[in-house]
Structure 1
Amino acid sequence: MKFYTISTFILIGGFIQNVYSEEVKKIEELTVSASPIGLQSLEHCAAPFTVLDGEELRGRQDSTIGETLSNIPGITTDRFSPLASRPVIRGLGGKRVHILENGVGAMDVTTISADHATTIEPIQAEAIEIIRGPATLLYGSEATGGLINVLTNRIPEYVPEFGGSFYSSYGVNPLEKLVSMQTEGGHDKLAFHFDFTRRDARSYESKTGQIDNSFYDTLNFNFGTSYVDTWGFLGISYGHFDSLHGIPINPDDPSELPFLESEQDRIDIAGKFNNPLLPGIETAALQVGYNDYTHTEFESVGEAGTVFDNEQFDTRIELKHVKLGRFDGVIGTQFGYKNLSAVGEEAFLPKT
């Protein structure tokens, strides 16, 4: 033991002597500080938090949310069919990954079965937030995998100048035709937004021939308006979504040509109020969503197998309190109502 101790001491001494034999350079002191809240919302203080917007988002947009995010590190997709594709975050999917639209749930039935399509159109997204880690607790305890929040401007938070955009594309394989447009504007304290998207795609062609029943057809339009003033804004929007998509044929039973038809009518209300008449509160935010969704599964043309009906109501209130010493934060509540039923040959869910 003494031998090793002396050797170690000698080595350290030699190292220190070599260091001090070199020229010593003094650098200026650098102080780094940051606010956990800053000018952003509470979600930004709990990493990891990723936002896709601008050109990066435009370069990734695809027919589904799953395909749009599939090449981001840590995210894949279940890719059941060209239109039924949900994101999988760090190996977790289904109910463990919540998909939101402007902070309110998509309110469809995609978490029940992998062949169900989402009702959110990626081409109309202004930005997509990917939230993982502790910040997911702001939206409940089920989203252990993460959250996907698709942001649109359907309820304007400010009065924009009159303008719009038009986009059209033509794909080869699958043979897809896409037409999308949006316009927005306002006058005085009133603002409006309108968007429309239509997709129509035939079945894929592979090296061995056509992949039967991989077609899809979607129609989506939304209209929103809001009143904007110095105290904040308050607005409402209505959206309609129609989709028809096939399920790739079962090679063990080539006579089956199953396809799914879904329809959604959705109403959203959103508002933000600066300096509300509540002691200790800086801002108050309100989000309300109502959804009437019907989904029919066909085993073949003209033969309805199972019908899903989902009527859902979701409300979220957030209050950002004034700074308490060194602490910033928000308090809030979320509550909702859901009436889900499935009727037919494959109705494996009880009415809830």
Structure 2
Amino acid sequence: MSHIYLRSTAATALILSLTAPAYAQIEDEIIVTGSPLMRSVDEAITGVSVLSGDELSNRLASTIGETLKSEPGVSSTYFGAGASRPIIRGQGGDRVRVLTNGIGSIDASSASPDHAVAAEPAQAERIEVLRGAALLRYGSSGSGGVVNVIDGRIPTELPDGVDGAVRIGASSVDLGREAAGSLDVASGRIVLHLDGTFKESDDYRIPVSGESREQLLEEGEEIPEDYDESRRLDNSAAKSTALTGGLSYIGDTARFGFAVHKFDSDYGIPGGHAHEEGEDDEDHDEDHGDEEEEEENVTIGLDQTRVDVNGAVDLPGFIQTVQLFGGYADYTHTEFEGPGEVGTVFTNEGYEVRVEAIQRERNGWARRTRGSIP
């Protein structure tokens, strides 16, 4: 009985507090959702995840794959600090398209997991992950999903004078250092955009437990004076730079802009190729020892120069807006089997253009936008 009495008293106090007059002025509106299932039908069936703001800043990593690996249904390939690509619901490679502002990355990242994506997550304003029917907007090639990195290199809104941002980061495991900045300057209807990113990291440090030292003692081996409880993952260092300049005209009913982007990345491929044990291991090791040593020190140099255009016009009548997206890129991926020794070279020069006509809402017919570019 005492338990029921306490609950009744609490309920009575709650009712009285709700009916009491409020004398304080409430300036901020706070919305609390009590159930994670309170979503509209469109949100439930579209399959769109958006990473932006503080959430994007907290999850930001050196590559797109590592940035998104905590999203539901998303994992990533990993070939050291320089190469990582998203895997959506177990599908990767050509079945997952990676876009920059709605246009394909135009690189060779889908050909192999050790090929880096030519996109810089440090400059992203938001990253969209699309699954299901929503990905048909970007073509049929990305059957597994689409990742759209939106970085604002072509401004679509007039800033209030000067708008800028700076990011500085460091990591201890690989002595990594990072600096990124962006700037938008408006003069009348013209907006200038500038951004740049620099990232560099050394080989990863791998901690070794005390059992390894004990194991050396059990095997009767001497412990060197410079023995360290941590080891480095050879050939896992990475370095990248990105520079972008963009210019936009933003009017009342129309806007148009273009941007030039330069991306360079140099990174190592750790590990090399393991050789299976067999009867002729000794002969094989003698004949190919030098080749295996070179394979373990394979490095990759990636270089891409890209030009993007984006525009939109508002129209009266049946069509509300016509949007234009376009991109051209000159891409080179060089694999070095040793210092200055060029092995394989991938080149890709391509362009992509997409035009969209958005229907005005009329007689119940309307276009619903989910995960679209502003």
What is residue 132 of structure 1 aligned with on the other side?
Answer: 131
What is residue 189 of structure 1 aligned with on the other side?
Answer: 189
Do the aligned partners of 2:82 and 2:266 also contact (CA within 8 Å) in 1?
A: no
What is residue 143 of structure 1 aligned with on the other side?
Answer: 142
Cα pair distance change 1:166/1:33, threshold 3 Å? closer
Instruction: Please give the alpha-carbon distance, in whole angstroms, between the structure 2 residues aligned to 1:262 and 1:315.
Output: 24
Deviations 1:68-122 (A, max 9, x none): 0011121110112221100111111111111111100111110011110111111
Do the aligned partners of 1:195 and 1:221 also contact (CA within 8 Å) in 2?
A: yes
Q: Secondary structure at the match of 2:361?
A: strand
Deviation, structure 1 residue 62: 0.5
Deviations 1:233-264 (A, max 9, x none): 10010000000000003255344310100110
What is residue 217 of structure 1 aligned with on the other side?
Answer: 239
What is residue 91 of structure 2 aligned with on the other side?
Answer: 92
What is residue 52 of structure 1 aligned with on the other side?
Answer: 51
Instruction: Please give the alpha-carbon distance, in whole angstroms, between the structure 2 residues aligned to 1:163 and 1:55.
Output: 18
Question: 2:351 aligned with 1:313, yes or no?
Answer: yes
Deviation, structure 1 residue 33: 12
Which residue among 253, 258, 262 is the counterpart of 1:240?
262
What is residue 363 of structure 2 aligned with on the other side?
Answer: 325
Deviation, structure 1 residue 35: 9.9
Instruction: Please give the alpha-carbon distance, in whole angstroms, between the structure 2 residues aligned to 1:238 and 1:157.
Output: 16
Do the aligned partners of 2:183 and 2:194 also contact (CA within 8 Å) in 1?
A: yes
Map residues 7-26 of structure 1 onto 2, 5 A cutoff: none
Which residue among 298, 310, 317 is the counterpart of 1:270?
310
Deviation, structure 1 residue 281: 0.8
Query: Which is helix-richer, 1 or 2?
Result: 2
Instruction: Please give the alpha-carbon distance, in whole angstroms, between the structure 1 residues aligned to 2:139 and 2:167.
Output: 37
Question: 2:305 aligned with 1:258, yes or no?
Answer: no
Instruction: Please give the alpha-carbon distance, in whole angstroms, between the structure 2 residues aligned to 1:45 and 1:120.
Output: 29
What is residue 114 of structure 1 aligned with on the other side?
Answer: 113
What is residue 101 of structure 2 aligned with on the other side?
Answer: 102
**Greater relative contact order structure (CA < 8 Å, 6+ sep):** 2
Deviation, structure 1 residue 65: 0.4
TM-score (norm 1): 0.79
Instruction: Please give the alpha-carbon distance, in whole angstroms, between the structure 1 residues aligned to 2:69 and 2:124.
Output: 16
Instruction: Please give the alpha-carbon distance, in whole angstroms, between the structure 2 residues aligned to 1:117 and 1:33.
Output: 36
Cα pair distance change 1:158/1:45, threshold 3 Å? farther
Instruction: Please give the alpha-carbon distance, in whole angstroms, between the structure 1 residues aligned to 2:82 and 2:335.
Output: 14
Instruction: Please give the alpha-carbon distance, in whole angstroms, between the structure 2 residues aligned to 1:167 and 1:58.
Output: 10
What is residue 250 of structure 2 aligned with on the other side?
Answer: 228
What is residue 287 of structure 1 aligned with on the other side?
Answer: 325
Q: Secondary structure at the match of 2:367?
A: strand
Deviation, structure 1 residue 232: 2.2
Do the aligned partners of 1:235 and 1:271 also contact (CA within 8 Å) in 2?
A: yes
| Residue identity matched to 1:225 | L
What is residue 12 of structure 2 aligned with on the other side?
Answer: none
Instruction: Please give the alpha-carbon distance, in whole angstroms, between the structure 1 residues aligned to 2:265 and 2:337.
Output: 16
TM-score (norm 2): 0.74
Do the aligned partners of 1:249 and 1:258 also contact (CA within 8 Å) in 2?
A: no
Deviations 1:123-156 (A, max 9, x none): 1100111111111111122212111111111111
Do the aligned partners of 1:159 and 1:187 also contact (CA within 8 Å) in 2?
A: no
Q: Secondary structure at the match of 1:59?
A: helix
Equivalenced residue count is 291
Deviations 1:287-333 (A, max 9, x none): 11000111111111111001111101100000012235322138xxx
Instruction: Please give the alpha-carbon distance, in whole angstroms, between the structure 2 residues aligned to 1:294 and 1:56.
Output: 33
Deviations 1:202-232 (A, max 9, x none): 1111135211111100000101110011112
Q: Secondary structure at the match of 1:120?
A: coil
Q: Secondary structure at the match of 1:323?
A: coil
What is residue 168 of structure 2 aligned with on the other side?
Answer: 168
Question: 2:327 aligned with 1:300, yes or no?
Answer: no
Give the superposed CA RMSD: 2.1
What is residue 153 of structure 2 aligned with on the other side?
Answer: 154
Question: 2:203 aligned with 1:203, yes or no?
Answer: yes
| Residue identity matched to 1:300 | G
Do the aligned partners of 2:167 and 2:181 also contact (CA within 8 Å) in 1?
A: yes
